[in-house]
Structure 1
Amino acid sequence: MTQLTGQEIAERAPRGWSYLLGALRTRLPTGDFATGLALVNAIGAAAEAADHHPDLDLRYTYVDVSLVSHDVGAVTGRDLRLAATISELAAEAGVTADAAGLTRLELALDSPDQARIMPFWAAVLGGEAKSGEVADPAGTLPVLWFQESGDEEPRQRWHPDLWVDPSEVQPRIDAAIEAGGTLVSDAEAPSFWVLADPEGNRVCLCTWQSRS
């Protein structure tokens, strides 16, 4: 299977799905647990038939779905096809796929020597250290990656990277500024925007756009 670009995914994904942090995602607002459980069972049967399995998170009033082709390490046409099937199953259950408000969080630690500190964080978090980041094998904790910095200049040691759908960026920037924050930089937009709280602590709003 061929890895799809962010633009291809955005153009071809079913309504109500969003490409966030390397996966195609949606939320199915079921309203109650029984409906969610029945929908999970239907999705499971379809996944078995397709021999392609999503990650499902069943909650009391919704089901979150995440799709990625693990053998490729990216979203492919296989994921788009299963997403369309899941949307059809949801519609049959009276549920509409809705990615509004979905986010994914990464944590970045500024350090002049990531090789020295990465093993510590892998040990503490019970994660796997590779390619400059520490990832939770179960996928429940945010990814921790390391940003190179000097060892003299003042720096914010931690900064979160919040992944959102492109349609969510401007409303969140507007709300952050209204709350007393500032837009520090949009030099890397639409890949990411840097904002700061009233004390100068920074956060990046990240999207799939303008990434290889």
Structure 2
Amino acid sequence: MDYPLKRTSQSGFTLVEMITTMAIMTLLMTLIFFNFRDAGKNKSARHQIANKLMADLRQAQSFALAGSPYLGDFMCGYGIHFSDKTVYVMYAKKPMSGSCAGINRNFDNGDPVVDTIIISNKNFEVIDPTGNKPADVFYEPPNPTIFIDNDPAIAEERYFISPVFKSVNCASAADAGECSALIISNGGTMQLLN
């Protein structure tokens, strides 16, 4: 009588192996999905902060172009000053002894504050290329002449919108994807990168 041959090895996967593999693949796909989703949110948040800052700089520039008085008084111009990396003010500069000649165009504690802006997204801050708070940008009528850190000869200022909780050097090309840069030139143009 012939008996069927017994198999000594089996090929294929068991149900437990297949379920384990599917669970691992699902976990990896979920992590990848949420990582890319958060990257898009971060870029959007950076751009929102940069656009608000750019709008405020444009408003200071417009006030200076128009020669707008503040609270009925003549002003020598308007500027943006960062009190720290997440709070900035738009300020007006009063003339000294009836003249704007020779004034310090950087923010002083006695200058009228037009508006105080707090960056509400605590995951980001605005820094200069060295990681410090940015320099003051001041617009003086009638052109308006732009003073960066009280100097009309500085060609440009770079504001970086950077993640707070990461060690990122926004000035380096390797970390450029983590930051957005707002470039303000002394010619009056502004450019948003990344």
Interval of TM-score (by shorter of Structure 1 and Structure 2): under 0.3
TM-score, scaled relative to structure 2: 0.27
Greater relative contact order structure (CA < 8 Å, 6+ sep): 1
TM-score, scaled relative to structure 1: 0.25
Task: Look at both structures and tell me which one has the larger radius of gyration over its CA atoms.
Answer: 2
